[in-house]
Amino acid sequence: MIFTSFFKALGQMGDRRFRRVLFLGVVLTIVLLVAATAGLFWLLEGLPDETGLPLIGPVTWLDDILQWSSVGVMLLLSVFLMVPVASAITSLFLDEVAQAVEDRHYPDLPPAAHVSFYDGFRDSVNFLGVIVGANLLALLVYIPLAFMAPVIFWALNGYLLGMEYFQLAAMRRIGRVKAKEMRKKHRWTIWLAGVLMAMPLSLPLINLVIPVLGAATFTHLFHRVQARE
């Protein structure tokens, strides 16, 4: 079920509407990452010209390294920032991606129900807040369990992103309350599908396409789950 949904979504990446959303999503992602990188450099500019490191002593070349490695720093930040960025982009563009999926693969469906701005905005903000808060708390676990950090990252964000992707996809068809009930009923399937999305989010550049691919995958997953009930 999960892989079928994923490969169907992957096969539609050339769709005109997918390309439009992908372009907008990539531009927005790059803008956010550049802003985050600039903010990091701004904070580091406040450090003294000489920074002392244990066993090494004064370090005066840190600023030069940061200037030359700005692109690398931005790619590194993308590993950590792409989860909340993916959440925000999905909230903005899921409806357009889902409609493109349904037009091609489920043409007999009636028009999707309108999700009120308040409900959509409330869920988006709640999901984003939970994702940011959970990942900040997870930093306390990454340090003592560094060897398990990637697995923890994928498991945590797979659960969180899967929950958001599925909820937003299902709300269009069955409403907020029923979507939440279905999400809870199929939480293990949704979690595994979320992990499949979270793993490439930790790969720079590849992670740029995941929000669109994830939105399409979970649209398929919702319809397959609904058909089995």
- Count the domains in the chain: 1
Residue 224 has pLDDT above 60, yes or no: yes
Domain housing 35: 2-228
Instruction: Read off the pTM.
Output: 0.79
Tell me, what's the pLDDT at 78? 60
Here the tokens at position 28 are 């927005």
If we measure between CA atoms, which residue out of 149, 163, 166 comes closest to residue 98? 166
CA distance from start to end of the chain = 14
Q: What is the pLDDT of residues 162-176, one digit of tens each?
A: 998 999 899 889 988
Tell me, what's the pLDDT at 2? 87
